[in-house]
A and B are shown apart, each in its own frame.
With several copies, the nearest count.
Chain A
Protein backbone atom coordinates (compact mmCIF):
# COMPACT_ATOMS: atom_id res chain seq x y z
CA UNK A 1 0.00 0.00 0.00
CA UNK A 2 1.24 3.45 -0.91
CA UNK A 3 -0.57 6.68 -0.24
CA UNK A 4 0.17 10.22 -1.31
CA UNK A 5 -1.62 13.54 -0.98
CA UNK A 6 -1.65 15.91 -3.94
CA UNK A 7 -2.91 19.50 -4.04
CA UNK A 8 -6.12 19.75 -6.06
CA UNK A 9 -4.55 21.53 -9.01
CA UNK A 10 -4.29 20.60 -12.66
CA UNK A 11 -0.52 20.66 -12.40
CA UNK A 12 -0.82 17.69 -10.02
CA UNK A 13 -2.29 15.51 -12.76
CA UNK A 14 1.06 14.57 -14.25
CA UNK A 15 2.51 13.68 -10.85
CA UNK A 16 -0.53 11.57 -10.04
CA UNK A 17 -0.15 9.86 -13.40
CA UNK A 18 3.48 9.03 -12.64
CA UNK A 19 2.56 7.75 -9.17
CA UNK A 20 -0.09 5.46 -10.70
CA UNK A 21 2.24 4.26 -13.44
CA UNK A 22 4.87 3.23 -10.93
CA UNK A 23 2.42 1.19 -8.86
CA UNK A 24 0.70 -0.33 -11.89
CA UNK A 25 4.07 -1.66 -12.90
CA UNK A 26 4.73 -3.03 -9.43
CA UNK A 27 1.41 -4.88 -9.72
CA UNK A 28 2.46 -6.38 -13.05
CA UNK A 29 -0.13 -4.59 -15.18
CA UNK A 30 0.79 -4.54 -18.86
CA UNK A 31 1.26 -1.36 -20.88
CA UNK A 32 -2.35 -1.13 -22.04
CA UNK A 33 -3.80 -1.76 -18.59
CA UNK A 34 -1.38 0.75 -17.08
CA UNK A 35 -2.44 3.40 -19.57
CA UNK A 36 -6.11 2.61 -18.86
CA UNK A 37 -5.66 3.18 -15.12
CA UNK A 38 -3.68 6.38 -15.70
CA UNK A 39 -6.42 7.67 -17.97
CA UNK A 40 -9.28 6.72 -15.59
CA UNK A 41 -7.50 8.31 -12.62
CA UNK A 42 -6.77 11.45 -14.64
CA UNK A 43 -10.47 11.77 -15.50
CA UNK A 44 -11.50 11.18 -11.90
CA UNK A 45 -9.01 13.69 -10.50
CA UNK A 46 -9.95 16.33 -13.10
CA UNK A 47 -13.55 15.87 -11.97
CA UNK A 48 -12.59 16.24 -8.33
CA UNK A 49 -10.81 19.53 -9.04
CA UNK A 50 -13.48 20.88 -11.38
CA UNK A 51 -16.71 19.56 -9.88
CA UNK A 52 -16.13 18.38 -6.31
CA UNK A 53 -14.01 21.38 -5.33
CA UNK A 54 -15.29 23.68 -8.05
CA UNK A 55 -11.85 24.97 -8.95
CA UNK A 56 -8.12 24.69 -8.42
CA UNK A 57 -6.41 25.10 -5.08
CA UNK A 58 -9.49 24.44 -2.97
CA UNK A 59 -8.60 21.06 -1.45
CA UNK A 60 -6.44 17.99 -1.68
CA UNK A 61 -6.67 14.65 -3.40
CA UNK A 62 -5.45 11.62 -1.52
CA UNK A 63 -4.38 8.83 -3.77
CA UNK A 64 -3.77 5.30 -2.50
CA UNK A 65 -2.50 2.35 -4.52
CA UNK A 66 -3.20 -1.15 -3.22
CA UNK A 67 -1.47 -4.13 -4.73
CA UNK A 68 -4.03 -6.89 -5.20
CA UNK A 69 -3.36 -10.49 -6.05
CA UNK A 70 -5.05 -10.03 -9.41
CA UNK A 71 -4.34 -6.38 -10.15
CA UNK A 72 -4.31 -2.85 -8.84
CA UNK A 73 -6.77 -0.93 -6.66
CA UNK A 74 -6.67 2.85 -6.65
CA UNK A 75 -8.54 4.80 -3.97
CA UNK A 76 -9.12 8.54 -4.46
CA UNK A 77 -10.38 10.66 -1.56
CA UNK A 78 -11.53 14.27 -1.58
CA UNK A 79 -13.44 16.61 0.72
CA UNK A 80 -15.48 18.26 -2.01
CA UNK A 81 -19.15 18.07 -2.73
CA UNK A 82 -20.92 14.87 -3.63
CA UNK A 83 -23.00 13.99 -6.69
CA UNK A 84 -25.18 11.20 -7.94
CA UNK A 85 -23.21 9.01 -10.33
CA UNK A 86 -26.44 7.47 -11.62
CA UNK A 87 -27.56 10.86 -12.88
CA UNK A 88 -24.69 10.98 -15.35
CA UNK A 89 -25.90 10.60 -18.92
CA UNK A 90 -24.09 8.17 -21.15
CA UNK A 91 -22.33 9.91 -23.95
CA UNK A 92 -24.06 9.39 -27.29
CA UNK A 93 -21.76 7.93 -29.88
CA UNK A 94 -22.27 8.14 -33.61
CA UNK A 95 -24.31 11.35 -33.52
CA UNK A 96 -23.43 14.11 -35.97
CA UNK A 97 -20.55 16.38 -35.00
CA UNK A 98 -22.76 19.48 -34.66
CA UNK A 99 -24.92 17.69 -32.12
CA UNK A 100 -21.96 16.78 -29.91
CA UNK A 101 -21.56 18.82 -26.74
CA UNK A 102 -18.34 20.40 -25.58
CA UNK A 103 -17.53 18.21 -22.62
CA UNK A 104 -18.44 15.05 -20.72
CA UNK A 105 -17.49 11.39 -21.09
CA UNK A 106 -15.16 11.33 -18.09
CA UNK A 107 -17.37 9.09 -15.96
CA UNK A 108 -18.39 7.06 -19.00
CA UNK A 109 -14.74 6.50 -19.83
CA UNK A 110 -13.82 5.56 -16.25
CA UNK A 111 -16.52 2.88 -16.32
CA UNK A 112 -15.28 1.54 -19.64
CA UNK A 113 -11.63 1.48 -18.62
CA UNK A 114 -11.87 -0.08 -15.15
CA UNK A 115 -13.11 -3.45 -13.99
CA UNK A 116 -14.71 -2.01 -10.85
CA UNK A 117 -15.83 1.54 -10.07
CA UNK A 118 -17.31 2.36 -6.70
CA UNK A 119 -18.25 5.76 -5.23
CA UNK A 120 -18.84 6.36 -1.52
CA UNK A 121 -20.06 9.67 -0.14
CA UNK A 122 -19.87 10.65 3.50
CA UNK A 123 -20.72 14.00 5.11
CA UNK A 124 -17.79 13.54 7.49
CA UNK A 125 -15.14 11.91 5.37
CA UNK A 126 -15.98 13.28 1.95
CA UNK A 127 -15.95 11.26 -1.26
CA UNK A 128 -14.14 8.00 -1.82
CA UNK A 129 -13.74 6.51 -5.26
CA UNK A 130 -12.45 2.96 -5.52
CA UNK A 131 -11.13 1.85 -8.91
CA UNK A 132 -9.95 -1.65 -9.69
CA UNK A 133 -8.05 -2.93 -12.70
CA UNK A 134 -7.30 -6.60 -13.21
CA UNK A 135 -4.13 -7.89 -14.80
Chain B
Protein backbone atom coordinates (compact mmCIF):
# COMPACT_ATOMS: atom_id res chain seq x y z
CA UNK B 1 0.00 0.00 0.00
CA UNK B 2 1.27 3.45 -0.91
CA UNK B 3 -0.39 6.85 -0.53
CA UNK B 4 0.95 9.79 -2.47
CA UNK B 5 -0.09 13.44 -2.21
CA UNK B 6 0.62 16.10 -4.82
CA UNK B 7 -0.21 19.74 -4.31
CA UNK B 8 -1.44 21.74 -7.30
CA UNK B 9 -2.40 25.37 -7.51
CA UNK B 10 -6.14 24.91 -6.85
CA UNK B 11 -6.33 21.47 -5.29
CA UNK B 12 -4.36 18.55 -3.93
CA UNK B 13 -4.32 15.09 -5.46
CA UNK B 14 -4.24 12.01 -3.25
CA UNK B 15 -3.51 8.67 -4.86
CA UNK B 16 -3.62 5.32 -3.12
CA UNK B 17 -3.03 1.86 -4.48
CA UNK B 18 -4.16 -1.60 -3.41
CA UNK B 19 -6.88 -2.23 -0.83
CA UNK B 20 -8.88 0.21 1.25
CA UNK B 21 -10.27 -1.80 4.13
CA UNK B 22 -10.34 -1.78 7.93
CA UNK B 23 -6.61 -2.42 7.85
CA UNK B 24 -5.57 0.46 5.61
CA UNK B 25 -8.47 2.93 5.88
CA UNK B 26 -6.94 4.86 8.77
CA UNK B 27 -3.79 5.60 6.78
CA UNK B 28 -5.91 7.11 4.06
CA UNK B 29 -7.80 9.16 6.66
CA UNK B 30 -4.44 10.39 7.98
CA UNK B 31 -3.40 11.44 4.48
CA UNK B 32 -6.62 13.41 3.94
CA UNK B 33 -6.28 14.99 7.38
CA UNK B 34 -2.71 16.04 6.65
CA UNK B 35 -3.83 17.83 3.49
CA UNK B 36 -6.65 19.58 5.34
CA UNK B 37 -4.28 20.66 8.09
CA UNK B 38 -2.47 22.59 5.37
CA UNK B 39 -5.67 24.50 4.74
CA UNK B 40 -6.48 22.64 1.54
CA UNK B 41 -10.09 21.50 1.17
CA UNK B 42 -10.23 20.94 -2.58
CA UNK B 43 -9.20 17.37 -3.06
CA UNK B 44 -9.02 14.87 -5.89
CA UNK B 45 -8.84 11.21 -4.91
CA UNK B 46 -7.25 9.21 -7.71
CA UNK B 47 -8.59 5.66 -7.49
CA UNK B 48 -6.93 4.29 -10.62
CA UNK B 49 -4.89 1.77 -8.67
CA UNK B 50 -7.36 0.93 -5.90
CA UNK B 51 -8.49 -2.62 -6.41
CA UNK B 52 -10.73 -3.15 -3.39
CA UNK B 53 -12.72 -0.84 -1.15
CA UNK B 54 -14.93 -1.87 1.76
CA UNK B 55 -17.41 0.33 3.61
CA UNK B 56 -14.50 1.46 5.78
CA UNK B 57 -13.26 3.30 2.70
CA UNK B 58 -16.56 5.08 2.05
CA UNK B 59 -16.72 6.33 5.56
CA UNK B 60 -13.26 7.76 5.24
CA UNK B 61 -14.45 9.50 2.07
CA UNK B 62 -17.72 10.64 3.68
CA UNK B 63 -15.91 12.09 6.70
CA UNK B 64 -13.48 13.84 4.39
CA UNK B 65 -16.33 15.17 2.26
CA UNK B 66 -18.04 16.56 5.36
CA UNK B 67 -14.85 18.33 6.46
CA UNK B 68 -14.12 19.66 2.97
CA UNK B 69 -17.63 21.01 2.38
CA UNK B 70 -17.87 22.72 5.76
CA UNK B 71 -18.07 26.54 5.40
CA UNK B 72 -18.29 25.95 1.63
CA UNK B 73 -14.54 25.79 1.59
CA UNK B 74 -14.16 22.91 -0.81
CA UNK B 75 -15.01 19.40 -1.85
CA UNK B 76 -13.46 16.01 -2.47
CA UNK B 77 -14.03 14.52 -5.92
CA UNK B 78 -13.18 11.04 -7.15
CA UNK B 79 -11.33 10.16 -10.32
CA UNK B 80 -11.01 6.92 -12.22
CA UNK B 81 -13.15 4.82 -9.89
CA UNK B 82 -12.86 1.16 -10.98
CA UNK B 83 -16.17 -0.26 -12.21
CA UNK B 84 -16.56 -2.85 -9.45
CA UNK B 85 -16.03 -0.25 -6.75
CA UNK B 86 -18.43 2.14 -8.42
CA UNK B 87 -21.07 -0.60 -8.54
CA UNK B 88 -20.75 -1.20 -4.81
CA UNK B 89 -20.98 2.54 -4.10
CA UNK B 90 -24.14 2.66 -6.23
CA UNK B 91 -25.62 -0.25 -4.31
CA UNK B 92 -25.81 1.79 -1.10
CA UNK B 93 -26.27 5.21 -2.69
CA UNK B 94 -22.83 6.46 -1.67
CA UNK B 95 -22.15 7.69 -5.18
CA UNK B 96 -24.61 10.58 -4.55
CA UNK B 97 -22.19 12.30 -2.23
CA UNK B 98 -19.32 12.69 -4.68
CA UNK B 99 -18.61 14.13 -8.09
CA UNK B 100 -16.99 11.34 -10.05
CA UNK B 101 -14.67 11.99 -13.00
CA UNK B 102 -13.52 9.56 -15.65
CA UNK B 103 -9.96 10.80 -15.50
CA UNK B 104 -7.62 12.69 -13.21
CA UNK B 105 -7.08 15.58 -15.62
CA UNK B 106 -10.80 16.41 -15.64
CA UNK B 107 -10.95 16.17 -11.87
CA UNK B 108 -8.02 18.54 -11.36
CA UNK B 109 -9.39 20.77 -14.11
CA UNK B 110 -12.70 21.01 -12.23
CA UNK B 111 -11.23 23.14 -9.44
- Seen from chain A, the residues whose Cβ lies within 8 Å of a Cβ on chain B are 10-11, 13-14, 17, 31-32, 35-36, 38-39, 42-43, 46, 49-50, 91, 93-94, 97-98, 100, 102-106, 108-109, 112-113
Contact = CB atoms under 8 A, between A and B. Distances in A.
B110 interface: no
B23 A11 contact: yes
User: Most chain-A Cβ atoms within 10 A of its Cβ — which of B52, B63, B69, B87?
Assistant: B52
- Binding site secondary structure of chain B: helix
Q: Which of B55, B91, B96 has the most CB of A within 10 A?
A: B55
B17 to A, nearest CB: 13
A91 B91 CA distance: 11
Contact of B22 (A13, A35, A36, A98): A13
Contacts of B93: 91, 93-94
12 contacts: A10-B21, A13-B19, A13-B54, A17-B52, A43-B55, A93-B96, A97-B62, A97-B69, A109-B88, A109-B91, A112-B92, A113-B91
Given A35-B84, A109-B88, A100 B97 contact: yes
A124 B106 CA distance: 56
B55 A98 contact: no
A28 to B, nearest CB: 18
B111 interface: no
Given A43-B54, A102-B63, A10 B22 contact: yes
Name the interface size band of chain B: 20 to 34
Contacts of B22: 10, 13, 42, 46, 49-50
Contacts of B69: 97
Contacts of B62: 97, 100, 102
A117 to B, nearest CB: 14
Interface in B8-42: 19, 21-23
Contacts of B97: 97, 100
Interface string B53-87: 01110110011011001000000000000001001
Contact of A10 (B23, B55, B63, B65): B23
B48 to A, nearest CB: 17
A109 B89 CA distance: 10
A102 B59 contact: yes
